[in-house]
Amino acid sequence: MLLSSKEERALASHAAQLLEDSGLVEDAIFLYREAEEWDSSSRLIRRAAPALLAQGRGQTLREWIGVLPMERAEADPWLVYWLGASLIPVDQQKARLRLEQAFERFESADDLLGQALAACGVIDSYYFEWSEFGPMKRWIAPLENTMSAKPILDSPETELHVRSSLIVATLYTEPGHPLLSGSVERVTELLDLDIDANHRVMAAIFLLSYCALAGDLERGNRIVTKVEPLLACAEVSPLHQIWWRSRLGYLLWHLADYERAARVLEEAEQIAEAHGLAGLRFAMMLMLNYRQQVCVSLGDFKTGEDCLRRAVSQPNSTRRMGAWQCLWGRIQFELGRGNPRPAFERAAEAVKAADETGMIYIQILSLMAYARAHAELGSHTEVKDSLERARELTRGTCFAHLESEMELTDAYSLLRHGDREGGLRLLASALERAKVSCAHHTRWTSTMPYLCAEALAAGMEVDYVNEVIKKYRLRPPAHDTEHWPWPVRIYALGGFEIYRDDQRVKFSGKAPKKPLALLKALIAFGGRSVPEERLMDALWPDEEADAARKSLDITVLRLRKLLGTHEVIVVSDEQIGVNPQFCWVDLWAFESRIAQTEAAEGKGGLSTAAVALYRGNFLPADSEEPWTVKARERLRAKFVRLIETIAQADEAAGHWEKALAHYMKGLEADDLVEAFHLGLMRCYRALGRPAEAITAFRRLRQTLSVVLGIAPSSAAEALAQELRDGSAVRYS
C-alpha cells in the first residue's frame, strides 16, 4: 500500500518519538528531519548538544543544526549559541560571531542563563585562539550579574562553567577582581562533584593556570590529585588531555620537578600527533614554550634551542601571543647564557608585544626581564623605572608574590654596580618576603645564583637560600663560591679533606688509598679532562696497559661511591675530570681569586680574598709523589707573589699593621719563604719595634738552618745588622 507524503511524515514522526523515548537520539533526529518536524528536531538538538560537545563531537552538532531551515536555526538563540560553542576549538572568530549574536538575543529576551553561557563561550574562544586577551574584560560583567542570580547557579554544571570562565577572564585581564579568589575556591570544591569528566578537566585546566600564575602551588598539587584519576576515563577528549598536560607541565616547572614536566609535555605532543591534532596552534605554542623553559632550567640549551626553532615555525608565531612567546623564549636563552645585550633588545620588544596581548601577567614578566637586562648593563635608573611599572600592574592582584622577585632584581642591580651596603639591605628584605611566597622566575638567569652566593657569604637566610639552591638546582655563579651548598668540597692546600653535603668524610677503618690517590692526581693535573693514560702512568707505572686500565676503571667506580654521587667524576673520550658544577676545590677557588686580584691590581686596586684560602702547601703529605711537585710549586709561587703584592702595597701606603698581618698570614701557611720574614722585619722596624724585628730574623735563621740547611740571604743579614746597630728609621 502506498502512503501519502503526509502519512509518511506522520509515520516518521511517530517512529522518531519512539526512538527518542528509547534514547536513540541520532536516529530520532534523522526521522524528525524526514518528517519535517523542525520544532522537535530543534528541541532534541538543544537537549543533545551539551553531551555532544563534551564528547568532542562538535562537527556532528554542526551537521545537525545545518539540516534545519536557516530561518529556524537563526531564530532560535540556543541553536545559535550551540553552533558558536561547537566552533570554539576549530574557528574562534566564527565562534565569537555566533556567540555574540546569541548573547544579544538572550539579552533581549532577558535570559540570564543564556547570557552567561554565551559570555563564557566568548571568553573561551579568546582563550583557545591564544592571541589576545584584552577583549575578555568586556565579558566579565555579564558573569558578575549571573553570580547574583542564584537559581541559575543551582546547577553545578552551570556554576562550574561560569566560574571557570570568570577565573580565566579575571586572571588574564583583571587579576585584582574581587570575585576571582572566591571563584577559585568554589571551582576547587566543585571538582569533587559528580559532573561530566570533560567539564571538570576543563575547569581544572583553568585552575592550574591560576595556580601557576598566582603562585598557589599547594592548591595546584591538590588539583592534580583530584584530576589525575579522571584522565583515565575514555570520555575525556584528546583536546582536554593535551591542554591538561600543557598546564601541568608549567605547574611542574614552578615546582622544579623538571623531569616530570618534560615528560608530560612530551606526552601532550604525542597525543596531538596520534589524534591528528599536531596543527593545534595554540596548544603547540604552549607546549614548545614550556618545554624550552624546562630545558633552559636544566641547562639543556641544545634541546631548548630545538623547541624554540619549532615554536618560531608554528603558523601562529606571528600573532600577538605567539610573537611574545617566541621573544620570551629567546630572552630566556640569552639571559640563561649570560648575554645581556641581545636579551635587552628582545626584552624591549617583549614589553610592547605583551601590552598588545592584554595579558597582565606577561606584561609583568616582560618588564621584570627588561629590568634584569638593564641590571646586567648597569643602568640602575632604568631598572627602577621598569620595576615600578611592573609593581603598578601587580599591586592589589593575585600576582603579589612577584614583588619579592622585583626586589631581588633591584638588589642585584645595586650589588653589581657599586652600592653594596644598599644591595645587601635590599637583598635581606627581598629574601624575607620570598620565604612567604616566591616563584623565582629568575632561576634561569645569572641573577638568582649570584644573589644566593651573596646571601650565603653574608650569612643571610642561610637555610632558606640553601633550600632554594637545591630545589631549583641552581648552578654556582663562580667556582670560588665557597659557601655554596656543594655536594662535594675538597681541600688540598695545607692538608687533604673531603666534605660531602657539608659533612667531613671520615674512614672508620683503613682509608681507600687508590681512590683517594686518583682524586689527588686528578686535582694535581688540573682536574678537568685529564687523559686516562696520564693517570695510569702516575698511579700504576709498573702495570701493563690492560691491567692499568682495568685498575683505573675499578678505582673510578670506587671513587664515585666514596663521593656519594656519580656526577662529580666525569668520564668521556678517554679523559677523566672533576665536574666543577658539583664539586668545589680550594685550589681552584684560590687560583680564581688570584686572577681577580691580578685584574684588580691592573685597575689600581687589590683583593685579599685569595689569602684565606691558602692554608699551606698543596698536598703536603704527598710531597714525595712526583706528580704533585709541579702543582705545589705553581701554587706556592702564586701565594708568595700574592702576599708580597698586597703587603708591599700596604707598606707603600704606610699601612704597616695591615702589611704585618699579611706577612704573618703568609708565614702561617709557609714559613720557608724568606720574603715574608723580611717583610715582617721591615714592618716591625717601621712601627718602632726593633726587638721584635730581631726576633723575626732569628726565627728566619733557625727555620732555614733546621729545615733546609742554609743561611739567610745577604739582604736579610744586612737588615738584621741595621737593626742591631740601632740605625732603623721609623716611618709613618
Per-residue pLDDT at 190 exceeds 50: yes
In the predicted model, is pLDDT for residue 730 greater than 50?
no
pLDDT at 237: 85
Residue 559 corresponds to which cell in the numbers above? 671513587
Q: Is the pLDDT of residue 3 over 60?
A: no
From 716, 713, 653, select the one nearest 686 (Cα to Cα): 653
DSSP for 40-66, please give it: HHHHHHHHHHHHHHHTT-HHHHHHHHH
Query: What span, in angstroms and rounded, lies between the C-alpha atoms of 518 and 8?
Result: 95
Q: Provide the pLDDT confidence category of residue 344 given band limits of 50, 70 and 90.
A: confident
Which pLDDT tens digit goes with each residue over 352-411? 999 999 999 999 999 999 998 888 888 888 899 999 999 999 999 999 989 999 999 999
CATH 1.10.10.10 fits 488-586, yes or no: yes
Which H helix or E strand runs over 5?
A: helix 5-21
292 pLDDT exceeds 60? yes
Look at 314 and 133; give whichever has higher pLDDT. 133
75 vs 149: which has the higher pLDDT: 75
Task: Report pLDDT for 147.
Answer: 78
> Residue 12 — very low, low, confident or very high, per pLDDT cuts 50/70/90?
low
> Mean pLDDT throughout 608-630?
90
pLDDT at 506 over 70: yes
CB < 8 Å & 24+ apart, contacts of 538-542:
538/627, 539/514
CB 476 within 8 A of CB 453: yes
- Alpha carbon distances (Å) from 81 to 74, 141, 172, 197: 10, 19, 24, 22
Instruction: For the beta carbon of residue 668, count every other beta carbon within 10 angstroms.
Output: 13
pLDDT at 38: 66
- Is the distance from CB of 520 to CB of 619 less than 8 angstroms? yes
Q: What does the pLDDT look like over 551-591, one tens digit per residue?
A: 999 999 999 999 998 889 999 889 999 999 899 999 999 99
319-472 and 488-586 have identical folds: no
pLDDT higher than 70, residue 548: yes
Model pLDDT, residue 373 = 86
* Nearest-angstrom CA–CA distance, 288 and 312: 10
Confidence of residue 732 (pLDDT cuts 50, 70, 90): very low
Class of residue 650 by CB neighbours under 10 A (exposed 0-12, middle 13-18, buried 19+): buried
- Range scoring the smallest mean pLDDT among 67-71, 200-204, 622-626: 67-71
pLDDT at 220 over 90: yes
Quick: pLDDT tens for 398-447.
999 899 999 999 999 999 887 899 999 999 999 998 888 766 766 767 78
Predicted confidence at residue 446, as pLDDT, reads 77
The order of strands in the sheet holding 497-500 is 503-504, 497-500, 488-491, 583-585
- At 725 the pLDDT is 80
What is the CATH code of the structural domain delimited by 589-724?
1.25.40.10
Helix (H) or strand (E) holding 238: helix 238-254
187-191, 493-497, 713-717: segment of lowest average pLDDT: 713-717
Q: What is the pLDDT of residues 138-151, one digit of tens each?
A: 999 999 988 777 66
What is the pLDDT, as a whole number, of residue 439?
Answer: 64
Domain ranges of the chain: 319-472, 488-586, 589-724
Phi first, then psi, for residue 143 (nearest 5°) are -75, -35
Q: What does CATH list as the number for 319-472?
A: 1.25.40.10
Question: Is residue 695 packed enough to be buried (19+ CB in 10 Å), middle (13-18) or exposed (0-12)?
Answer: middle
* Higher per-residue pLDDT: 235 or 454: 454
pLDDT band for 509, please (50, 70, 90 cuts).
confident
Q: How far apart are CA 323 and CA 65, in angstroms?
A: 37
- The pLDDT of residue 728 is 42
C-alpha of 118 from chain center? 38
Mean pLDDT is lowest, of 7-21, 23-37, 665-679, for: 7-21
Q: Tell me: the pLDDT tens digits for 253-272? A: 999 999 999 999 999 989 88
Average pLDDT of the chain, as a whole number: 87
Which band of pLDDT confidence, cut at 50, 70 and 90, is reported for residue 19?
low
10: confidence class by pLDDT, cuts 50, 70, 90: low
Residue 592 has pLDDT above 80, yes or no: yes
| pLDDT score, position 729 | 47
Between the alpha carbon of residue 541 and those of residues 546, 548, 550, the distances in Å are: 12, 8, 13
Question: Are 328 and 354 a contacting pair, CB within 8 Å?
Answer: no
The pLDDT tens digits of the residues spanning 670-713 come to 888 899 899 999 999 999 898 998 998 999 999 888 888 898 99
Strands 488-491 and 583-585 come out as parallel
